[in-house]
């Protein structure tokens, strides 16, 4: 990873986070929410026992009018949803590949062939229908209310010049797009930078496929180049644009991997130690926090938890991780049970 090594003065590596959720569903939930699952969760599960980082940011930080506050590309991670915060704080998912020549964000532009007059006529018809009796007493999670909220958000995006400009990745100079790498992940990272510049406070880039139980080395050779070029270019670009000090870039998985190569040439799930990369957002670069034993079996120095990781993100975004939240039926829930951030990252 020569490009990332070349900007290591901008990076902080935490290598001593550990937890006890050694399968994908539970590990993802823990790292995406800061809350361990309350019941056993299988590897293939998509679970939501607690609001995700992005949904909490959507709820408490928000975004300028016309711009959704939480994006996830190309899909929502396993536990990236809003839980009791309601559908309005679910991520705006952009599934399409920005590397395609004809890329445009689906459902946020008027369809080809639909004139402005016909579009306004359809709007008027909907407004007339909306005068009928609606389920105004429905709960936050009611599908009717959720549909209305998504419709309203879609209309705001259609009418927002800032949002439309942010989605127009084709306006980027060719050399910038090439620096990120002409891969789906690379161009999603560039789109993320454009969204952040438009005021979006939280973007998740989901880049799965690292579960190399077999044939690790060949898989790694294919997987790393698009990842590294995109992350390095994103940090460099944010720095050049003067945005890095107010933008965090974080790279992580749900757990680490076994220290030893197995008999199939791969590595298996290992939650006793994992590393997370931080850059920007006032984080002092050029530092490594924590350590494992010599064999890499377990974190032994500056041992940290997913709660510490999530609390760090919240603190940097101006959110109190120790606050109490309430479900729609009035049940109190701690946002994070251990609200202590990683002090070395706080600047």
Higher pLDDT, 273 or 156: 273
**pLDDT tens digits, 95-122:** 999 999 889 886 666 556 655 566 556 6
- With bands split at pLDDT 50, 70 and 90, how would you rate the model's confidence at 124? low
**Mean pLDDT across the stretch 188-192?**
98
- With bands split at pLDDT 50, 70 and 90, how would you rate the model's confidence at 151? low
Contact by Cβ (8 Å): 344, 56: no
User: Hey, which of 58-67, 93-102, 227-236 has the most confident mean pLDDT?
Assistant: 227-236
| Residues 6+ positions from 301 with CB-CB distance below 8 Å | 16, 290, 291, 292
pLDDT computed for residue 3 by the predictor: 95
Residue 69's alpha-carbon distances to 45, 125, 249, 269, in angstroms, are: 26, 29, 17, 33
Lowest mean pLDDT across 37-41, 154-158, 175-179: 154-158
**Mean pLDDT across the stretch 135-144?**
49
**pLDDT tens digits, 255-278:** 999 999 999 999 999 999 999 999
**Proportion of the chain above pLDDT 70, given as a percent:** 84
- With bands split at pLDDT 50, 70 and 90, how would you rate the model's confidence at 304? very high
**pLDDT tens digits, 208-225:** 999 999 999 999 999 999
| Residues 6+ positions from 33 with CB-CB distance below 8 Å | 49, 50, 51, 52, 53, 79, 310
Average pLDDT of every residue of the chain: 89
- With bands split at pLDDT 50, 70 and 90, how would you rate the model's confidence at 248? very high
- With bands split at pLDDT 50, 70 and 90, how would you rate the model's confidence at 39? confident
- With bands split at pLDDT 50, 70 and 90, how would you rate the model's confidence at 148? low
In this prediction the pTM is 0.87
Q: Measured between alpha carbons, how far is 29 from 254 in angstroms, rounded to an integer? A: 8
Which CATH class name applies to 2-100+168-345?
A: alpha beta
- With bands split at pLDDT 50, 70 and 90, how would you rate the model's confidence at 137? very low
pLDDT computed for residue 130 by the predictor: 61
pLDDT computed for residue 44 by the predictor: 72
Asked if the model's pLDDT at residue 170 lies above 50, the reply is yes
């Amino acid at each position: 990873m020569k490009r990332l090594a070349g900007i290591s003065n901008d990076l902080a590596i935490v290598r001593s986070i550990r937890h006890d959720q050694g399968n994908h569903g539970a590990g993802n939930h823990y790292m995406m929410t800061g809350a361990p699952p309350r019941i056993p969760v299988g590897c293939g599960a998509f679970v939501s026992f607690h609001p995700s980082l992005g949904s909490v940011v959507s709820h408490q930080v928000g975004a300028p009018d016309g711009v959704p506050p939480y994006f996830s590309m190309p899909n929502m991670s396993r536990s990236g949803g809003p839980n009791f915060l309601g559908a309005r704080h679910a991520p705006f998912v952009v599934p399409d590949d920005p590397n395609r020549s004809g890329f445009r964000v689906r459902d946020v532009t008027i369809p080809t062939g639909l004139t402005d007059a016909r579009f306004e006529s359809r709007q008027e018809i909907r407004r007339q229908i909306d005068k009928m009796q609606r389920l105004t007493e429905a709960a936050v999670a009611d599908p009717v209310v959720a549909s209305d909220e998504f419709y309203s958000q879609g209309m705001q995006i259609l009418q927002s010049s800032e949002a439309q400009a942010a989605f127009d990745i084709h306006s980027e100079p060719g050399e910038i797009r090439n620096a990120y790498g002409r891969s789906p992940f690379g161009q999603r990272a560039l789109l993320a930078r454009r969204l952040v510049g438009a005021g979006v406070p939280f973007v998740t880039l989901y880049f799965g496929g690292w579960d190399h139980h077999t044939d690790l080395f060949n898989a790694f050779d294919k997987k790393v180049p698009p990842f590294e070029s995109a992350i390095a270019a994103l940090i460099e670009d944010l720095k050049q644009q003067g945005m890095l000090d107010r933008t965090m870039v974080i790279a992580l998985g749900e757990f680490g991997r076994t220290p030893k190569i197995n008999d199939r040439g791969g590595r298996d799930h290992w939650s006793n130690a994992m590393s997370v990369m931080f850059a920007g957002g006032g984080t002092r670069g050029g530092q490594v926090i924590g350590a494992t034993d010599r064999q890499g079996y377990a974190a032994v120095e500056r041992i940290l938890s997913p709660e510490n990781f999530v609390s760090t993100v919240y603190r940097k975004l101006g959110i109190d991780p120790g606050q109490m939240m309430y479900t729609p039926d009035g049940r109190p829930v701690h946002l994070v049970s251990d609200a202590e951030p990683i002090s070395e990252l706080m600047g």
